[in-house]
Amino acid sequence: MAEKKIPVDELRSGMFVVALDRPWFDTPFGAGGFEIRGQEDIAELRRYCRHVFVEVEDAVEDTGEQETAPDQEAAVENALRRAEETLSRFRALLGDLFREAAGSPLASLAGIDALMPGLLDGIDEDSDAHIWQARLERGCCYDVAHALDCCVLAVAFASHLGWSRQACHTLGKAALLLDIGMARVPRHILDKPGRLTAEEFAAVQRHVLYAQEILAQAAGCGDEVLAIVRNHHERINGSGYPQGLQGEDISLPSQLVAMVDCYTAMTSSRSYRDARSPYQVLNQLYGWRDSYFRGDLLEPFIRFIGIYPTASLVELTNGEVGAVLGQNRPRSLRPKVLLMLEGSSAASPCFLDLAAEENSDVEVRRGIERPPPGMALDAGLWRGLGRELSRGGTGQPREGAFTGR
Ligand SMILES: [Fe+2]
């Protein structure tokens, strides 16, 4: 099935609406899409939209060379393995940079410049594999994991928008270094489980100023990277810090990484709060459109992330539960899924491409914000699965992976 954009007035009963001409959050319609059941549905849609996207049959050319399921699974595993090879080099480098930054200014960013072309190539080839792998915790500290998560998502989104390779390189480099100044914020404040005092919050905010000191003399750190890092907590309504800049005074790359920084931080677990679901966070970000973030940047970002974001959980119409392994853009209702749970029992993780013809009878019933009973699906499980796939292992879950921490 493909998607076709049509005016609301051309809708007919039985058509399945998969996307609107505006974000779902702005309407009473559920984000999972819905079937038109009559004139009432069309009249309701007309109140909000001029155009919508509906599913239509594909005109498939039979090449006689269809990929088999094992071929697809092997391709997914290879993509994940290559992505992890690239990201593990960045983790090692970032660990070194954060340690160095705690005690002295960085001398050079040549290491990032050397690795970045490989990451840009990899994201061009398979952005979802990199987004997935960057979301897995690998036992490294939060600062390193978050820097890489932010970098991968920012570059993937910018590349999706058609930004040049040089612009993506600069953006990715800056995204890695947004929070390098955290290396100088006392650890007991960063790891404090409760609410921060005003003084502690001010100490955290100083990470932006520390970053300027850390990066000022670093070879390979141009003015643009410095500006992006300096402005990643600015908000277009002037409520950000450290300068309270407004609107166009904040460059587009700064605004993009600010948005991605928020999304990745809010969907990650911290010592003082649990991770929020991608759906909750996107909804929250949408509430900040044109106050914190430009609407014309935020809305494409929400569409890029997808209705069922990569690394989020979904329940299928056949009762199985899995994690979204990648998108089939623009068919956002039919992602690639890694199955993990059948009914209430653990399943051997296996790959299911919902866009494949043989899976046309299965759909996503809903996104899941919390793991269902019998399935303690948290970052620990992602880690186990990702490690198995990265090693080219069997994909079998570790013992106890589904039964709690
Ligand atoms: Fe920050």
Q: What is the pLDDT of residue 179?
A: 96
What distance in angstroms lies between residue 179's CA and the mean position of ligand 1's atoms?
Answer: 5
Taking residues 365-372, report their average pLDDT: 69
Q: Is residue 86 part of a domain?
A: yes
**Residue 257 and residue 154 in contact, taking contact as beta carbons nearer than 8 Å:** yes
**252 and 323 in one domain?**
no
The pair of structure tokens assigned to 290 is 């044109």
Indicate the burial class of 79 (C-beta count within 10 angstroms; 0-12, 13-18, 19 or more).
buried
Closest by Cα among 238, 237, 234 to 259? 234
Taking residues 325-349, report their average pLDDT: 71
What distance in angstroms lies between residue 202's CA and the mean position of ligand 1's atoms?
Answer: 12
What distance in angstroms lies between residue 303's CA and the mean position of ligand 1's atoms?
Answer: 24
Closest by Cα among 358, 403, 343 to 377? 403
CA–CA distances in Å: residue 238 to residues 227, 231, 248, 268, 296: 16, 11, 11, 26, 18
**86 and 34 in one domain?**
no
Q: Is residue 61 part of a domain?
A: no
- Owner of token pair 């058609």: 162
What distance in angstroms lies between residue 334's CA and the mean position of ligand 1's atoms?
Answer: 34
pLDDT at 342 over 60: no
**129 and 252 in one domain?**
yes
Comparing 342 with 356, the larger pLDDT belongs to 356
Q: Is residue 47 part of a domain?
A: yes
Q: What would the DSSP string read from start to end of 191-210?
A: T-SSPPPHHHHHHHHTHHHH
Q: What is the pLDDT of residue 376?
A: 40
Q: Is residue 84 part of a domain?
A: yes
What distance in angstroms lies between residue 295's CA and the mean position of ligand 1's atoms?
Answer: 21
Q: Is residue 398 part of a domain?
A: no
220-256 tens-digit pLDDT: 899 999 999 999 999 999 999 999 999 999 999 999 9
Across the chain, what does the average pLDDT equal?
81
What distance in angstroms lies between residue 205's CA and the mean position of ligand 1's atoms?
Answer: 8
* Single residue among 274, 304, 334 that ends a domain in this structure: 304
List CB contacts of 257: < 8 A, sequence separation 6 or more: 150, 154, 171, 174, 175, 178, 228, 232
**373 and 247 in one domain?**
no
What distance in angstroms lies between residue 258's CA and the mean position of ligand 1's atoms?
Answer: 8
32-75 tens-digit pLDDT: 567 788 888 888 888 888 888 787 765 544 454 555 555 666 77
Q: Name the pLDDT band for 18 (thresholds 50, 70, 90).
A: confident
What distance in angstroms lies between residue 234's CA and the mean position of ligand 1's atoms?
Answer: 10
Comparing 325 with 204, the larger pLDDT belongs to 204
**CA-CA distance, 303 to 314, in Å (whole number)?**
18
What distance in angstroms lies between residue 34's CA and the mean position of ligand 1's atoms?
Answer: 39
**CA-CA distance, 135 to 313, in Å (whole number)?**
13
**CA-CA distance, 187 to 287, in Å (whole number)?**
32
CATH number of the domain to which 168 belongs: 1.10.3210.10
φ/ψ of residue 266, rounded to 5: -70, -25
Supply the range of the domain harboring residue 343: 313-391
**CA-CA distance, 385 to 109, in Å (whole number)?**
32
* Single residue among 304, 332, 366 that ends a domain in this structure: 304
Q: Name the pLDDT band for 378 (thresholds 50, 70, 90).
A: very low
**CA-CA distance, 114 to 111, in Å (whole number)?**
5
**374 and 347 in one domain?**
yes
What distance in angstroms lies between residue 193's CA and the mean position of ligand 1's atoms?
Answer: 18
What distance in angstroms lies between residue 262's CA and the mean position of ligand 1's atoms?
Answer: 9
pLDDT at 26 over 90: no
**40 and 81 in one domain?**
no
Q: Is residue 102 part of a domain?
A: yes
155-178 tens-digit pLDDT: 999 999 999 999 999 999 999 999
The pair of structure tokens assigned to 71 is 């071929």
DSSP 53: E
Q: Name the pLDDT band for 349 (thresholds 50, 70, 90).
A: low
**Residue 266 and residue 284 in contact, taking contact as beta carbons nearer than 8 Å:** yes
Q: What is the pLDDT of residue 69?
A: 57
Q: What is the pLDDT of residue 89?
A: 94
**CA-CA distance, 144 to 147, in Å (whole number)?**
5
pLDDT at 388 over 50: no
**CA-CA distance, 183 to 73, in Å (whole number)?**
40
Q: What is the pLDDT of residue 293?
A: 94
Sort strands 345-353 and 336-342 into parallel, antiparallel or unpaired: antiparallel
Q: What is the pLDDT of residue 396?
A: 33
Q: What is the pLDDT of residue 58?
A: 56
Comparing 180 with 15, the larger pLDDT belongs to 180
What distance in angstroms lies between residue 207's CA and the mean position of ligand 1's atoms?
Answer: 7
* Single residue among 304, 322, 346 that ends a domain in this structure: 304
Q: What is the pLDDT of residue 152?
A: 96
What distance in angstroms lies between residue 78's CA and the mean position of ligand 1's atoms?
Answer: 33
φ/ψ of residue 389, rounded to 5: -65, -40
What distance in angstroms lies between residue 182's CA and the mean position of ligand 1's atoms?
Answer: 8
Q: What is the pLDDT of residue 1?
A: 56
Q: What is the pLDDT of residue 137?
A: 63
Taking residues 367-389, report their average pLDDT: 48
Q: Name the pLDDT band for 198 (thresholds 50, 70, 90).
A: very high
Q: What is the pLDDT of residue 207?
A: 96
What distance in angstroms lies between residue 81's CA and the mean position of ligand 1's atoms?
Answer: 30
Instruction: Kindly calculate the radius of gyration of the chain based on its CA atoms and give it in whole angstroms.
Output: 22
**288 and 188 in one domain?**
yes
What distance in angstroms lies between residue 62's CA and the mean position of ligand 1's atoms?
Answer: 51
**197 and 273 in one domain?**
yes
The pair of structure tokens assigned to 17 is 């609406």
Q: What is the pLDDT of residue 218?
A: 93
Neighbour tally for 25: CB within 10 Å: 17
pLDDT at 344 over 60: no
Q: Is residue 405 part of a domain?
A: no
**141 and 221 in one domain?**
yes
86-132 tens-digit pLDDT: 999 999 999 999 999 999 999 999 999 999 999 999 999 989 889 98
Q: Which alpha helices (H) appear in 24-141, and where do they start and end?
A: 39-46, 69-103, 110-125, 127-135
How many domains in the chain?
A: 3
**CA-CA distance, 223 to 212, in Å (whole number)?**
11
105 preceded by a cis bond (ω within 30 of 0): no
**26 and 90 in one domain?**
no
Taking residues 186-193, report their average pLDDT: 89
**234 and 116 in one domain?**
yes
pLDDT at 329 over 90: no
List CB contacts of 384: < 8 A, sequence separation 6 or more: 397, 398, 401
What distance in angstroms lies between residue 101's CA and the mean position of ligand 1's atoms?
Answer: 15
Taking residues 340-361, report their average pLDDT: 71
**CA-CA distance, 172 to 388, in Å (whole number)?**
28
Taking residues 333-349, report their average pLDDT: 67
Q: What is the pLDDT of residue 162?
A: 93
**170 and 188 in one domain?**
yes
What distance in angstroms lies between residue 256's CA and the mean position of ligand 1's atoms?
Answer: 13
Q: Is residue 150 part of a domain?
A: yes
What distance in angstroms lies between residue 206's CA and the mean position of ligand 1's atoms?
Answer: 9
**CA-CA distance, 207 to 180, in Å (whole number)?**
7
